[in-house]
Amino acid sequence: MMAASTKKIWMDGRLVDSANATVHVLNHTLHYGVGVFEGIRCYGTPNGPAIFRVREHVRRLVSSARLYRMPLPYTEEQIVQAIVETQAANEIVPSYIRPIVYRGEPALGVKNSKGKVSLAVAAIPAKKYLGEGSEAGVRAKISPYRKPHSDAIPSFAKADGNYLNSYLAGLDAADDGYEEAILLDQNGYVAEGTGENIFLVRNGNVYTPGLESDILLGITRDSVIQIAKDLGYTVVEKLLSVNELLTADEAFFSGTYAEIAPIREISHFTLGDGRPGPITRDIMQVFYRIIKGEEPKYAAWMHAVAPMPRPVARTPRRSTVA
Ligand SMILES: Cc1ncc(COP(=O)(O)O)c(C=O)c1O
């Protein structure tokens, strides 16, 4: 995340200049990875900016924080307001919004569950995680790095430390010239990408791994499942073998940052004819209409952001969320 590309960051109730959004170097989260976060997108629509499924993201943030014993001093509604306020203050559209829960005070020692729990929210210009043009299909490598079992690190929570695994897998795939890695679970079943869930299509049906494969239960994944079912497809959550993936008719990633990205090649296996397949395109078409605010049926997924009142104060403002 580049602080320079955003003006104001929300920190515990205050919108501060990006350059001043700092924490102590001995903070617990930096040393032990104990923090939880979200990635959320805000899109431009004919009715102004709208945040995609913000309440579901906030609910997941709160449950991740609970799992890691980080009692949040904010209600879900206050966190939604903080996100909306940050988005409005920065006026970046489309944006990628990053709320993060952390312990920012100096506190060395792993077993610290007492320090102050803080929330920060930033909004930065949105990019395509898998590169511009990823809608045409990406190349992915089956990673030598596997997902840790949830008995060790629960995939259910979106925690900072989980991304050590994504980091190693992602760089390994990039070194080999691939856009993304596909990680397997500890039993060798297909799990997910470094920052996306995965779907495959066989004989007209849509398949995706379930929580037993140590995946993050993605909000885009949930959206894809709903869209696919509404389109009349059968969606099955099950253990998926590498062989089922390599011989799939179609496959695609889903995630906030990646949106929906068809997979055209996996570890040198070309899927189908190497182009996005018809069912992938069908689902993508509806998804991309939803985020442009063009699908009234899914309007509840788009949370409108009212513009900030002008003129904007020059000194750090007290936020409406204390
Ligand atoms: C490991 C992992 N899996 C899946 C996803 C997709 O989740 P979502 O659709 O909620 O962004 C993400 C991104 O948050 C992720 O980091």
Same domain, 233 and 277: yes
For residue 316, which of 106, 85, 126 has the smallest C-alpha distance?
85
Q: For ligand 1, is residue 135 a contact (CB within 6 Å)? A: no
Residue 189 DSSP one-character state: -
Same domain, 180 and 144: yes
Structure confidence at residue 319 (pLDDT): 56
Structure confidence at residue 318 (pLDDT): 59
- In the chain, how many domains are there? 2
Q: b/e for 96-125, b at 16 or more Cβ within 10 A?
A: bbbbbbbbbeebeeeeeeebebbbbbbbbe
- State in Å: Cα 231 to ligand 1 middle: 23
The CA-atom distances, in angstroms, between 107 and each of 31, 93, 159 are 9, 37, 19
Contact 205, 233 (CB under 8 A): yes
Whole-angstrom distance between the N-terminal and C-terminal Cα of the chain?
25
Contact 270, 140 (CB under 8 A): no
Same domain, 153 and 270: yes
Q: What is the band of 313 on the pLDDT scale with cuts at 50, 70, 90?
A: low
Residues 6+ apart with CB under 8 A from 81: 320, 321
Same domain, 156 and 171: yes
Write the single-letter amino acid at 245: L
- State in Å: Cα 313 to ligand 1 middle: 36
The catalytic site residues sit at: 158
Same domain, 201 and 123: no
- State in Å: Cα 39 to ligand 1 middle: 8
Query: What is the CATH classification number for the domain harbouring 213?
Result: 3.20.10.10
Per-residue pLDDT reduced to its tens digit, 233-266: 999 999 999 999 999 999 999 999 999 999 999 9
Same domain, 255 and 143: yes
- Using the atom order of ligand 1, give the atom closest to the CA of residue 39: 14
Q: For residue 250, is it within any domain? A: yes
Dist CA 237 CA 211 (whole Å) = 9
Contact 184, 244 (CB under 8 A): no
Q: For residue 216, is it within any domain? A: yes
Count of CB atoms situated within 10 Å of the CB of 235 = 16
Same domain, 157 and 78: no
Averaged pLDDT, 145-158:
97
Q: For residue 296, is it within any domain? A: no
Q: Which of 88-102, 123-137, 181-195, 243-257 has the lowest mean pLDDT?
A: 123-137
- pTM over 0.85? The answer is yes
Dist CA 118 CA 104 (whole Å) = 7
Same domain, 123 and 182: no
- Using the atom order of ligand 1, give the atom closest to the CA of residue 220: 9
Q: For residue 32, is it within any domain? A: yes
Angle between helical axes of 54-67 and 76-90 (0-180°, round to 10): 120
Contact 103, 132 (CB under 8 A): no
Q: For ligand 1, is residue 197 a contact (CB within 6 Å)? A: yes
Average pLDDT, the chain: 94
Q: Indicate the helix (H) or strand (E) that contains 282.
A: helix 278-291
Q: What is the band of 311 on the pLDDT scale with cuts at 50, 70, 90?
A: low
Query: Does residue 317 register a pLDDT over 70?
Result: no
- State in Å: Cα 113 to ligand 1 middle: 26
Higher-pLDDT residue of 101, 113: 101
Residue reference for tokens 């077993």:
111
Same domain, 253 and 170: yes
Q: For ligand 1, is residue 60 a contact (CB within 6 Å)? A: no
Dist CA 135 CA 124 (whole Å) = 22
Q: For residue 36, is it within any domain? A: yes
Structure confidence at residue 220 (pLDDT): 98
Q: Indicate the helix (H) or strand (E) that contains 62.
A: helix 54-67
Residues of the domain holding 193? 134-291
Same domain, 230 and 203: yes
Q: For ligand 1, is residue 225 a contact (CB within 6 Å)? A: no
Same domain, 73 and 151: no
Same domain, 20 and 164: no
Contact 89, 21 (CB under 8 A): no
Contact 101, 35 (CB under 8 A): yes
Atom 7 of ligand 1 has which residue's CA nearest to it?
Answer: 218
Q: For ligand 1, is residue 221 a contact (CB within 6 Å)? A: yes
